[in-house]
Amino acid sequence: MIEIPGWHQQAACRNSTVDFFSRSSTTRAEAKAICAGCPTFAECRKSVETHGDTDGVWAGEAGDELTKRYERVQREACTTRAIAIERGLKLHQEGLTVARAARVVGLSRQVLLHHVKEAVKDQAILQPFG
């Protein structure tokens, strides 16, 4: 059974006769116009960014637009996480405990600890060549 999110109950598309999954550009334009005034536009967009729905019209976008949005958001999340890991490692090297450094950068202790261990392994491997 497909779980329908609560916000969808208030969505403008909920009772619309427009086919939000049509491949017709005219129908997609109608669907996008409905999205523009939707009270749940932000929730719909967040759903697309989280789940990567690319079939149909969601938050005023369709097809490649949806794919590009999802991929961009995922890239940004990876970059943000990589920056947090790098910053956490630096803070730990400066003397903070792993737990404290993880809290400061918004990571779990386990995630930062994993990367600390990996960094130590990498240093041990590179030392003989140093």
Q: Is residue 53 part of a domain?
A: yes
- For residue 114, what are the domain limits? 77-129
Task: Give a yes or no: residue 43 inside a domain.
Answer: yes
Tell me how many domains the chain contains: 2
Model pLDDT, residue 59: 94
Tokens 């960094």 locate to: 119
Please report whether residue 40 resides in a domain: yes
pTM: 0.65
Same domain, yes or no: 20 and 50:
yes
pLDDT of 123 reads 73
Distance CA 124, CA 120 (A): 6
- Interval 15-52: pLDDT, tens: 899 999 998 989 999 999 999 999 999 999 999 898 88
Q: Please say whether the beta carbons of 113 and 92 come within 8 A.
A: no
Q: With contact defined as beta carbons under 8 Å apart, do 12 and 35 qualify? A: yes
Say if residue 58 is exposed, middle or buried (CB neighbours under 10 Å; 0-12, 13-18, 19+): buried
Answer whether residue 130 shows pLDDT above 60. no
Say whether pLDDT at 129 is over 60.
Answer: no
Q: What is the pLDDT of residues 51-108, one digit of tens each?
A: 888 899 999 999 999 999 999 999 898 899 999 999 999 999 999 999 999 999 998 9
Do 92 and 47 share a structural domain? no
For 58, the enclosing helix (H) or strand (E) is strand 57-58
Separation of alpha carbons 113 and 97, rounded Å: 10
End-to-end CA distance of the chain: 58
Q: Indicate the pLDDT class of residue 5, thresholds 50, 70 and 90.
A: confident
Q: What single-letter DSSP state applies at residue 5?
A: P
